[in-house]
């Protein structure tokens, strides 16, 4: 006889979810802090007048993340999750300090490449899977995904103010310190995982070519490509068209971010608990397309930029929280770690592609070309999302006597 199923997480599972989301957030905050102000700062560096180089500097860490994400996940299977996560955070901190001391745009790119080599995302999500039961794993993945949206929003609010206080070198140093703080949190707050006792051969080919996972991987690639491309041009659009100095960009970001979270939370609840994942997800992708068109045709002046930034934050936060949850529910049961490794790799590729393409397009064809290209990416994603099969919400498993 089985007892009544419980939908409650244990204290250890809650502790694992909160602490791992915090580690992820500390690392991503460091990555995102330079995003709102770097294209403005880069003009003061030798070589920083070339927007293609600026875009590569923004997206360079995504390329090395894409290369190292799956190897780091495999290493965590062999040598333990915490050890590999700590090594990745040390690499990330070192790259931050290299970028802080950079005399030109080339050395900034070197620092960003080293930052990206500390590719811990797959290892962190694998550790989350180790520490949670199947029926609660989606919640923890959503917590980690939501932390990315949260720190992205916080970075857009805080970075202009911090940049005014400590400059770009100070932001990079702060990024390194945050990474080292995450190491302390890893060993103090995260519960010990069960020992690694080997694992069966995973169906990696199925992970790579599963139709549902391919759609989700295309989604995370598109989301981060659009995000990075946009923020090659948004900061100096706020300076030029909006007439707002970089140190005062928080006056636009703060109200937009706060309102976006008020809108995002009920949307996520409706999707997860109300069984409305399809309309919420597809609606968020459609909103991204509308945002790009809005920036292209109606983004003149500070108010216009602010309205479209608010809409972008709403869509971004919904999708960033939903995608990893959907991956964990779509992946084959014996290949969740592999699926998350591929997912994080495609995310990193999107970051690199967005930075490089955004810089190239802005340099050659102007800012509006970036929004036109992002519109095309968004429309392609909308077509893919419309054909997705959304997995049903899992019910908690019954506890056995």
Tens-place pLDDT, residues 111-139: 999 998 988 888 888 888 788 876 666 67
- Inside any domain, residue 171: yes
What tens digit of pLDDT does each residue of 41-59 get?
888 888 888 888 888 888 7
Q: What is the mean pLDDT of residues 258-273?
A: 79
- Inside any domain, residue 355: yes
What pLDDT, on a 0 to 100 scale, did the predictor assign at position 169? Answer: 92
What's the alpha-carbon Rg for the chain, to the nearest Å? 20
What tens digit of pLDDT does each residue of 161-189 get?
888 899 989 999 999 999 999 999 999 99
| Parent domain of 113 | 11-190+203-386
- The domain tally of the chain equals 1
What pLDDT, on a 0 to 100 scale, did the predictor assign at position 172? Answer: 93
Model confidence at 325: pLDDT above 80: no
- Inside any domain, residue 398: no
> How far is residue 228's CA from residue 179's CA, in Å, rounded to a whole number?
21
What pLDDT, on a 0 to 100 scale, did the predictor assign at position 226? Answer: 95
What pLDDT, on a 0 to 100 scale, did the predictor assign at position 232? Answer: 85
Q: What is the mean pLDDT of residues 147-171?
A: 83
- Inside any domain, residue 55: yes
- Inside any domain, residue 134: yes
Q: What is the mean pLDDT of residues 7-28?
A: 86
Q: What is the mean pLDDT of residues 79-88?
A: 91
* 153 within 8 A of 315, measured Cβ to Cβ: no
* 30 within 8 A of 88, measured Cβ to Cβ: no
CA distances from 197 to 76, 77, 194, 200 (A): 12, 9, 9, 10
Top pLDDT among 359 and 149 is at: 359
* 217 within 8 A of 343, measured Cβ to Cβ: yes
Q: What angle do CA 26, 217, 384 make, to 5 degrees?
A: 130
- Inside any domain, residue 197: no
Q: Within 13 A of 177's CA, how many CA atoms are on the CB side? A: 8
Adjacent-strand bridge partners of 400: 2
Q: Within 13 A of 293's CA, how many CA atoms are on the CB side? A: 9
pTM, whole model, 2 decimals?
Answer: 0.75
> How far is residue 114's CA from residue 96's CA, in Å, rounded to a whole number?
8
Cα-Cα end-to-end distance for the chain: 7
DSSP string, 11-47: HHHHHHHHHHHHHHHHHHHHHHHTTTTHHHHGGGSTT
- Inside any domain, residue 4: no
Query: 88-102, 246-260, 289-303 — which one is most confidently predicted on average?
Result: 88-102
Model confidence at 347: pLDDT above 60: yes
Residue 323's CATH number: 1.20.1250.20
- Inside any domain, residue 394: no
What pLDDT, on a 0 to 100 scale, did the predictor assign at position 134? Answer: 65
CB atoms within 10 A of CB 307: 17
What pLDDT, on a 0 to 100 scale, did the predictor assign at position 376? Answer: 96
What tens digit of pLDDT does each residue of 198-245 get?
445 556 677 788 889 999 999 999 999 999 899 888 887 888 877 788
**Residue 396: Cβ-neighbour burial (10 angstroms; 0-12, 13-18, 19+):** middle
> How far is residue 145's CA from residue 147's CA, in Å, rounded to a whole number?
5
* Mean per-residue pLDDT of the chain: 83
């Amino acid at each position: 006889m089985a007892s009544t199923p419980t939908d409650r997480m244990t204290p250890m599972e809650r502790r694992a979810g909160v602490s791992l989301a915090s580690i992820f957030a500390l690392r991503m905050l460091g990555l995102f802090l330079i995003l709102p102000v770097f294209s403005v700062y880069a003009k003061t560096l030798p070589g920083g007048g070339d927007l293609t180089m600026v875009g590569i500097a923004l997206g360079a860490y995504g390329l090395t993340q894409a290369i190292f994400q799956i190897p780091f996940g495999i290493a965590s299977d062999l040598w333990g999750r915490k050890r590999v996560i700590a090594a990745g955070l040390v690499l990330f901190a070192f790259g931050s300090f290299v970028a802080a001391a950079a005399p030109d745009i080339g050395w900034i790119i070197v620092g960003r490449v080293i930052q990206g080599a500390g590719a811990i995302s797959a290892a962190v999500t694998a550790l989350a899977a180790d520490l949670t039961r199947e029926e609660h794993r989606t919640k923890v993945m959503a917590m980690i995904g939501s932390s990315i949206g949260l720190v992205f929003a916080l970075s857009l609010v805080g970075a202009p103010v911090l940049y005014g206080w400590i400059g770009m070198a100070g932001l990079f140093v702060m990024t390194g310190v945050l990474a080292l703080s995450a190491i302390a949190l890893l060993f103090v707050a995260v519960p010990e995982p069960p020992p690694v006792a080997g694992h069966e051969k995973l169906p990696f080919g199925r992970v790579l070519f599963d139709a549902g996972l391919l759609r989700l991987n295309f989604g995370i690639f598109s989301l981060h490509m659009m995000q990075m491309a946009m923020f090659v041009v948004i900061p100096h659009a706020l300076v030029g068209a909006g007439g707002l100095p970089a140190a005062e960009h928080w006056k636009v970001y703060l109200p937009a971010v706060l309102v976006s979270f008020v809108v995002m939370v009920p949307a996520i609840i409706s999707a997860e608990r109300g069984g409305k994942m399809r309309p919420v997800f597809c609606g968020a992708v459609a909103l991204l397309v509308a945002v790009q068109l809005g920036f292209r045709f109606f983004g003149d002046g500070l108010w216009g930029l602010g309205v479209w930034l608010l809409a972008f934050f709403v869509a971004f936060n919904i999708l960033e929280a939903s995608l990893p949850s959907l991956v964990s529910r779509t992946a084959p049961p014996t290949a969740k770690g592999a699926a998350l490794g591929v997912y994080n790799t495609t995310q990193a590729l999107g970051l690199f592609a967005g930075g490089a393409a955004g810089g190239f397009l802005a340099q050659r064809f102007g800012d509006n070309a970036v929004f036109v290209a992002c519109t095309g990416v968004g429309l392609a994603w909308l077509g893919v999302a419309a054909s997705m099969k959304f997995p049903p919400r899992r019910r908690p498993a019954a506890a056995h006597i």
